[in-house]
Chains A and B, each alone.
Chain A
Amino acid sequence: DVKVTQSSRYLVKRTGEKVFLECVQDMDHENMFWYRQDPGLGLRLIYFSYDVKMKEKGDIPEGYSVSREKKERFSLILESASTNQTSMYLCASNRGLNTDTQYFGPGTRLTVL
């Protein structure tokens, strides 16, 4: 069974703080993804990684950065959190095949005050 875990289910931070969201998968997947989910907007891709130390911007990368130092771990970093980054953040992973579905973590609900 594929397992994707995220470090926190709920997180409350203050404006200007640096925030780290961690994601770990245990299936040796090549690809990992970070999305944010907002009502009425569905899932929007922030960044993805197709290999260790490799990353590509998704549709909404502004205000975010990522780190993938090990294959199983993909971190999303908010350098200086802002209130408009209050959202649900979902991590996903899959194998490096064109047609492989993505497996999702449970999500982290981040509130920035």
Chain B
Amino acid sequence: GEDVEQSLFLSVREGDSSVINCTYTDSSSTYLYWYKQEPGAGLQLLTYIFSNMDMKQDQRLTVLLNKKDKHLSLRIADTQTGDSAIYFCAESGYGGATNKLIFGTGTLLAVQP
């Protein structure tokens, strides 16, 4: 079945770049998403990339997609303490009306001042 994997933890210093990686197995995924979860809150959509794109940039966020290797990454430039959160990648298949998402395990990003 479909599977999405992420490393569990990443620690960076304030001002550095963070790179969070994700691998997935479903090659038919139409969209791939990055969600952010702050402590005690639900998930909020950060950004997404369509499967026929290689890169998408949105202010401090850069998403890279290597479809051949089924590898997705999220780069956060000039990481701030407010970026400390859990980051989930998710893939969306082109399957039916329900648009189920398959989520990774989440990466806890800790930003040290």
The 8 A CB mask of B75-100 against A (1 = contact, 0 = none) is 00000000000001000101111111
Interface residues in A66-86 (C-beta closer than 8 Å to B): none
Q: Any chain B CB within 8 A of the CB of A112? A: no
Q: Please give me the residue from chain B that is nearest to A10 by CB atom.
A: B40
Q: Which of B31, B88, B106 contacts A99 (CB under 8 A)?
A: B31
The 8 A CB mask of A17-42 against B (1 = contact, 0 = none) is 00000000000001101010000111
Contact of A104 with B99 in the complex, beta carbons under 8 Å:
no
Q: Any chain A CB within 8 A of the CB of B25? A: no
Question: Which residues of B sit under 8 angstroms from A100, Cβ to Cβ?
Answer: 99
Q: Could you tell me the distance in whole angstroms from the C-beta of A79 to the nearest C-beta in chain B?
A: 24
Q: Please give me the residue from chain A that is nearest to B4 by CB atom.
A: A42
Q: How far is the CA of A92 from the CA of B44 in the complex (A)?
A: 11
The 8 A CB mask of B28-44 against A (1 = contact, 0 = none) is 00110101000011111
Residue of A33, A42, A45, A94 with most partner-chain B CB within 10 A: A42
Contact of B105 with A40 in the complex, beta carbons under 8 Å:
yes
Q: How far is the CA of A33 from the CA of B40 in the complex (A)?
A: 19
Q: How many A-B residue pairs have CB under 8 A?
A: 68
Q: Which of B8, B95, B97, B100 contacts A96 (CB under 8 A)?
A: B97
Q: Any chain B CB within 8 A of the CB of A110? A: no
Number of interface residues of A (CB under 8 A): 29
Contact of A99 with B42 in the complex, beta carbons under 8 Å:
no
Known: A40-B8, A41-B105, A42-B88. A98 touches B97 (CB 8 A): yes
Interface residues in B42-86 (C-beta closer than 8 Å to A): 42-45, 48
Contact of B48 with A101 in the complex, beta carbons under 8 Å:
yes
Q: Any chain B CB within 8 A of the CB of A97? A: yes
Q: Could you tell me the distance in whole angstroms from the C-beta of A36 to the nearest C-beta in chain B?
A: 11
Q: How far is the CA of A50 from the CA of B8 in the complex (A)?
A: 32
Q: How far is the CA of A42 from the CA of B89 in the complex (A)?
A: 10
Contact of B43 with A90 in the complex, beta carbons under 8 Å:
yes
Q: How far is the CA of A31 from the CA of B101 in the complex (A)?
A: 12
User: Residues of A at under 8 Å CB distance from B?
Assistant: 4, 30-31, 33, 35, 40-43, 45, 48, 50, 56, 58, 90, 92, 94, 96-107
